[in-house]
Amino acid sequence: MRTLSFDIVLIFFNLFALICENVARGPSTVCNTTEAYFDHPDTNSNCRIDKDLNVSVSEIAKNHGFTLEKHTIETDDLYVLTTYRLKKTDKDYGNKTIFLQHGLMADFTSFIYNGNNSLAFYLGNLGYDVWLGNYRDTEYCSHKYLLRTDPKYWEF
């Protein structure tokens, strides 16, 4: 005789198996609705493959026709800031320079994480020489002698 708790466990197990099956298909499948993930996302018209998911920022740039040049800048107080420059892979740099600096609790990736709709790629495609900066509180910053775990690191 089946009990209600057994039925709940069985439903949970089937739901868990469906989720695992869909995750195993690839983390870059993006669907417009939750239901679409469970309705053959590889052939569903409400789903697409996002080539920018789970790849490096250099790969994202490459996916949109750019390369990222890494430049490090050492400040007077010995912080090492990493700045990036977009370069069109089929052309040289743009002829008008623009520097994009992120806001609080972000980093330069906020300008490239929206694919062709991102500000950096949009400006690069318009012919700008795009530079992307990072503040000292990001993972793209270090100090010549201090570790991030040292309280003195944060006294800037």
* pTM beyond cutoff 0.75: no
pLDDT in tens, 67-111: 899 999 999 999 999 999 998 866 677 679 999 999 888 889 889
Which residues have a Cβ under 8 Å from the Cβ of 36 and sit 6 or more positions away? Answer: 44, 46, 47
How far apart are the C-alpha atoms of 151 and 156, rounded to whole Å?
A: 10
Domains delineated in the chain = 4-49 (no CATH), 57-154 (3.40.50.1820)
What percent of the chain is predicted at pLDDT more than 90?
Answer: 32
How far apart are the C-alpha atoms of 70 and 8, rounded to whole Å?
A: 53
